């Protein structure tokens, strides 16, 4: 009789421990991937100066905004080795992968872009288009068109 009582108490204790563990177990969310929904080019920087960009629906590209005429493209004054940094945002801000890759399919004799940093160098006046692509599996991207010209035209 003593052995059966001990066996019953042990079994009930084990069942109680299992039930308590199940009842108070936290639901764990496993690393849910949040994909990039949008890449936004907010501005460009030349030295210490920032120039806003705007989305042009017709061309499906971001353009450098003319501060005197909002929603109008402003060409940049070309100087030898003009260096421009692209400023962008990833949306949503809590996306799992926050990194991007920069590229261009424009004539590399006009301008080039560093794939990792987004630093653009213009070698001669002209128009170049650059792509900012999110590094997640969603492949969201944005295009930025920059036009440079000399003082005389």
Residue with tokens 């940094």: 85
Q: Which residue ranges make up each domain of the chain?
A: 38-149
Dump pLDDT digits (tens) for 44-78: 999 999 999 999 999 999 999 998 998 899 999 99
Q: What is the band of 153 on the pLDDT scale with cuts at 50, 70, 90?
A: low
For the entire predicted model, the pTM comes to 0.77
Is 40's pLDDT higher than 90? yes
Q: What is the band of 20 on the pLDDT scale with cuts at 50, 70, 90?
A: confident
Query: What integer is the mean pLDDT of 24-38?
Result: 76
Dump pLDDT digits (tens) for 122-138: 999 999 999 999 998 88
Tell me, which fold does domain 38-149 have in CATH? Immunoglobulin-like (2.60.40)
Dump pLDDT digits (tens) for 71-113: 899 999 999 999 999 999 999 999 988 999 999 988 889 999 9
């Amino acid at each position: 009789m003593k052995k059966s009582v001990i066996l019953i108490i042990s079994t009930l204790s084990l069942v109680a421990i299992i039930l308590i563990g199940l009842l108070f177990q936290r639901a764990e969310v496993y690393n849910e991937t949040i994909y990039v929904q949008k890449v936004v080019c907010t501005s460009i920087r030349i030295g210490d100066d920032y120039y806003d960009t705007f989305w042009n629906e017709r061309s499906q590209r971001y353009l450098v905004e003319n501060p005197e005429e909002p929603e109008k493209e402003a060409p940049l004054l070309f100087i030898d080795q003009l260096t421009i940094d692209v400023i962008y945002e990833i949306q949503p801000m809590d996306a799992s992968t926050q990194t991007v890759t920069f590229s261009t399919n424009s004539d590399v004799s006009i301008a080039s872009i560093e794939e990792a940093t987004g630093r653009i160098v213009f070698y001669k006046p002209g128009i170049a288009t650059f792509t900012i692509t999110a590094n997640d599996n969603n492949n969201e991207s944005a295009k930025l068109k920059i036009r440079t010209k000399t003082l005389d035209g």
